[in-house]
Every structure is written in structure tokens, then in C-alpha cells.
Amino acid sequence: MKKTTLYGIPNCDTVKKARTWLADNGHEFDFHDFKKQGLERATVAAWLEQLDWEVLVNRKGTTWRKLSDERRAAVVDKAGALELMLEAPSVIKRPVLAGAGPLHVGFSDDAYRQLFGCPAPQ
């Protein structure tokens, strides 16, 4: 079975919810803090093969809003998004869950139940 990795930053509320859900439901996973550990170009490029860059880049977050107009304008395709995500990982929508089926961005109880084949609570 492929190892499950949760990518994010530890102080993000959505990442905390995902980590708690995984632990509470008995799923082993590695946590990759992409602010401290960084991200490899190959990892982000693989994500961009699976998901549209517009799904991965959080254009509503603080990191995006703090970018200059010129920097934001440069992100119009997969290549521009790749460079931005490597340069400023906190612009990535969180968490990113890899290895539990298709690459998944964000967290919701329902989505994780579906990904892991868990029954809905009674």
C-alpha cells in the first residue's frame, strides 16, 4: 500500500482538522511541513499533472494577496504556478493529501470518508 502523506503547515486550522481526522480514524500518515521542509520541483510538478493549477493555488489567501500585481499576473499557467508554489509554498491550498487515492486538496469529513472508504457515522 502506498504511504499516505499530508502536506501543509502545522498552524493551519484546516491542516489541523485533517491531521486529527486521520489520527482519530486510525490512518497512518507522514506529515510534510512544506514551510520547514520545502517542496521538491518533481513533487509539485507531479501534483500539477493530476490537478489543475487553479485548484492548487490559493488565490483567496494572504500569501496571494501580498504578492505584487506583476507577480500575480505572471501566474497564468502550470509553469507559472509551479514556480510560484516552489518560491512561496504557503500559496498552496492546504492540506494536500497524497497516497490515499487521487491527489486531494482541502479537507472535509465527507471527502476523507470517501477517499478512505469509511462509513458515515450513524
**Residues carrying an active site annotation:** 12
- DSSP conformation class of 120: P
Q: Which among 85, 9, 18 has a CA at the least distance from the CA of 47?
A: 85
Q: What does 39-79 look like in DSSP terms, one character per residue?
A: --HHHHHHHHHHS-HHHHB-TTSHHHHHS-HHHHHT--SHH
Closest CA to 43 of 10, 86, 104: 86
H or E stretch covering 87: helix 78-87
**What's at 4, amino acid-wise?**
T
